[in-house]
């Protein structure tokens, strides 16, 4: 059986299943991170003057809008998914057996905890006064 390589040199899974799904998910989240981080930078450092961005600006302009809350939440979720999948690859390269299972379980739980706390923060941000 011949192996297919992506342009980055990593082996592209040939069979259907979770490994192939994760392989594609890493690429999709990487692309999403590029787009979201570039748009985040352009909006906060080009469209708005950084010297005017205080805590009041963030509360009154950014987080008062459902769009910006959803955008920040999406950015957070994509970062968490990409990070956990990246850690999964590194742990899979260096650890085997029960140690690998324990470490990955800890990282999956940490990812779930960060997802939960991040979602709670974004959803429960207070409405600005005034």
Asked whether residue 112 is assigned to any structural domain, the reply reads yes
Per residue in 103-114, pLDDT (tens digit) is 999 999 999 999
> From CA 73, how far away is CA 36, in angstroms rounded?
11
| Residue 130 domain-assigned (yes or no) | no
pTM of the model: 0.79
The 10s digit of each residue's pLDDT in 47-94 is 777 777 777 777 777 778 888 888 889 999 999 999 999 999 899 889
Strand duo 11-12 + 4-5: pairing: antiparallel
Q: Would you say residue 128 lies in a domain?
A: no
What percentage of the chain's residues is helix, strand, coil (to nearest 5)? 75, 5, 20
Domain that holds residue 82: 4-123
Distances in whole angstroms, Cα of residue 45 to Cα of each of 16, 32, 35, 57, 61: 43, 19, 15, 14, 15
For the chain, the domain total comes to: 1
């Amino acid at each position: 059986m011949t192996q297919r390589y992506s342009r980055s040199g990593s082996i592209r899974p040939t069979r259907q299943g979770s490994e192939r799904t994760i392989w594609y998910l890493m690429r999709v989240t990487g692309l999403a991170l590029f787009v979201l981080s570039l748009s985040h930078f352009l909006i906060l450092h080009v469209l708005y003057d950084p010297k005017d961005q205080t805590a009041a600006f963030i509360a009154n302009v950014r987080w008062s809008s459902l769009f910006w809350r959803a955008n920040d939440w999406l950015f957070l979720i994509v970062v968490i998914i990409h990070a956990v999948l990246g850690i999964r690859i590194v742990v899979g390269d260096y650890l085997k057996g029960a140690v690998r299972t324990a470490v990955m379980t800890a990282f999956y739980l940490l990812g779930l905890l960060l997802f939960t706390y991040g979602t709670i923060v974004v959803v429960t941000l207070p409405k600005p006064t005034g």
